[in-house]
Amino acid sequence: MTTQWESLANEHILGIAPYEPGKPVEELERELGIHDAIKLASNENPLAPSDRVQQAILAAVPNLNRYPDGSGYYLRQALAKKHDVSPDQVVLGNGSNELIELIVRSFLRPGDEAVVPHPSFVVYPMIVQAAGGIRVMVMLKDHRLDLEAMARAITPMTKIVFIANPNNPTATIVTKDEVAHFMSRLPERTIVVFDEAYIQFALGPDFPETLEYVTQGRKVVVLRTFSKAASLAGLRIGYGVADADCIALMNRIRQPFNVNSLGQVAALAALEDESHTLECVRMIEAGRHYLYDEFNALGVKYVPSRANFILVDVGRSASDIYQRLLKEGVIVRPMTPFGMESALRITVGTPQENRRLVKALRAVLGKSSA
Ligand SMILES: *Cc1c(COP(=O)(O)O)cnc(C)c1O
């Protein structure tokens, strides 16, 4: 008998379910024979990168025969200046997803525990499991991270705690006061990862300034990304801010050219172009309110959002509604894999896309348009 590939695999990965990305627009259009499908499934920015960013990318194209700057010198300088830290406190990643992996691989030993909220970003437990760590899942409370319960879940074996703020898929935040209380109870040796992918949509006086914990020398890593508000999901670029010693350890295992050159110049140009971010934050905010009103009219319950997506409860089988929305050319995300049988996660789109979603939802839910 021949050897099965699975018997050769690292045993830690065998229990991991493959990540299911949102259905690509092109695939749905091919299936339906249509040309105007919309994707509201992956929390992407519906706006193209700004002209300035596109120009910067085009200007860098002739140099693509060269490897990128492996240290990301200029981008790290700019990010350090923006956040008032030193460049050796900044690490770039192929998306912030790569940084989650670098943190886990740098610090989590097999048998160490990681405290992970649930439901939250599926990448955290996946990477912890692959590293042979133990996932300690802590349920949300009223769709919000339960920092009290997460603090109680910490043991002497806890190496890392993940805090997605805002959380995906619920779009709720934990507040400045809640985080301060949590940090005051946290053992000194426990690393907290604040994943702030959606921070631009969430800002307000109640939102925590987690970079202050880095400055205070706490064991904190703050993750940010250019994938959402900056419209650069396709170029895969994110960054982490932490103590220089922490960053140095992550750099030991980071692939030398992990961030491509177009991503670096695009992110640099995006940093100098705050108006694009402001424009899309305003558009998303208006879109959230439009959708709340329409959901109310349709009798669809939702969780008020501090991000560019909304968790809704359609009151019946979400996978059925998902399938029927697909037939209308609208891709959303069913939350069935999280055990939320009647929930969909819907990314806020352009005003036009939002109207299209509402029309499709009204048709699918069998409501008249009166
Ligand atoms: C979208 C998202 C990210 C961003 O990932 P990138 O790899 O930077 O594209 C990170 N964390 C959460 C919770 C997200 O939803």
pLDDT at 86: 98
Q: Are strands 191-195 and 113-118 parallel, antiparallel or unpaired?
A: unpaired
The share of the chain scoring above pLDDT 90, in percent, equals 90
Residues linked to residue 116 through DSSP beta bridges, in sequence order: 137
Q: How far is the CA of 198 from the centre of ligand 1 (A)?
A: 8
**If you average pLDDT over every residue of the chain, what do you get?**
96
Q: How far is the CA of 307 from the centre of ligand 1 (A)?
A: 12
Q: How far is the CA of 306 from the centre of ligand 1 (A)?
A: 15
Give the nearest ligand 1 atom to 43 CA.
1
pLDDT at 94: 98
* Residue from 118, 113, 206 nearest 159 by CA: 113
Whose Cα sits closest to atom 2 in ligand 1? Answer: 197
Is the pLDDT confidence value at 4 over 70?
A: yes
Binding site membership of 227 for ligand 1 (Cβ less than 6 Å): yes
Q: How far is the CA of 164 from the centre of ligand 1 (A)?
A: 9
The tokens describing 369, both together, are: 């348009």
Q: pLDDT tens-digit profile of 210-232?
A: 999 999 999 999 999 999 999 99
Binding site membership of 49 for ligand 1 (Cβ less than 6 Å): no
Q: Are strands 330-331 and 38-39 parallel, antiparallel or unpaired?
A: parallel
Binding site membership of 197 for ligand 1 (Cβ less than 6 Å): yes
Range in 18-27, 42-51, 160-169, 278-287 with the lowest mean pLDDT: 18-27
Binding site membership of 97 for ligand 1 (Cβ less than 6 Å): yes
Q: pLDDT tens-digit profile of 22-61?
A: 788 999 899 888 889 999 999 999 999 999 999 999 999 9
Domain boundaries, given as residue ranges, for the chain: 21-48+275-364, 51-272
pLDDT at 18: 81
Q: pLDDT tens-digit profile of 338-349?
A: 999 999 999 999
- The residue to mutate among 121, 127, 306, having the most atoms of ligand 1 within 8 angstroms of its beta carbon, is 121
Range in 10-14, 148-152, 235-239 with the lowest mean pLDDT: 10-14
Radius of gyration of the chain (CA): 21
Neighbouring C-beta atoms of residue 72, cutoff 10 Å = 26
Which CATH number is associated with domain 21-48+275-364? 3.90.1150.10
The tokens describing 319, both together, are: 């996978």
pLDDT at 368: 57
Binding site membership of 233 for ligand 1 (Cβ less than 6 Å): yes
* Residue from 105, 117, 122 nearest 163 by CA: 117
Binding site membership of 43 for ligand 1 (Cβ less than 6 Å): yes
Binding site membership of 308 for ligand 1 (Cβ less than 6 Å): no
Q: Rounded mean pLDDT of 127-153?
A: 97
Q: How far is the CA of 210 from the centre of ligand 1 (A)?
A: 17
Q: How far is the CA of 224 from the centre of ligand 1 (A)?
A: 8
Q: How far is the CA of 299 from the centre of ligand 1 (A)?
A: 30
Binding site membership of 129 for ligand 1 (Cβ less than 6 Å): no
- The residue to mutate among 42, 45, 97, having the most atoms of ligand 1 within 8 angstroms of its beta carbon, is 97
pLDDT at 370: 45
Given 3.20.20.10, 3.40.50.1820, 3.40.50.720, 3.40.640.10, which CATH number is that of 51-272?
3.40.640.10
Is the pLDDT confidence value at 164 over 90?
A: yes
Give the nearest ligand 1 atom to 225 CA.
8
- Secondary structure string (H, E, C) spanning the chain: CCCCHHHHCCHHHCCCCCCCCCCCHHHHHHHHCCCCCEECCCCCCCCCCCHHHHHHHHHHHHHCCCCCCCCCHHHHHHHHHHHCCCHHHEEEECCHHHHHHHHHHHHCCCCCEEEEEECCCCHHHHHHHHCCCEEEEEECECCECCHHHHHHCCCCCEEEEEEECCCCCCCCCCCHHHHHHHHHHCCCCCEEEEECCCHHHHCCCCCCCCHHHHHCCCCEEEEEECCCCCCCHHHCCEEEECCHHHHHHHHHHCCCCCCCHHHHHHHHHHHCCHHHHHHHHHHHHHHHHHHHHHHHHHCCEECCCCCCEEEEECCCCHHHHHHHHHHCCEECEECHHHCCCCEEEEECCCHHHHHHHHHHHHHHCCCCCC
Q: pLDDT tens-digit profile of 293-331?
A: 999 999 999 999 999 999 999 999 999 999 999 999 999
Q: Which residue has the higher pLDDT, 10 or 182?
A: 182
Is the pLDDT confidence value at 138 over 50?
A: yes
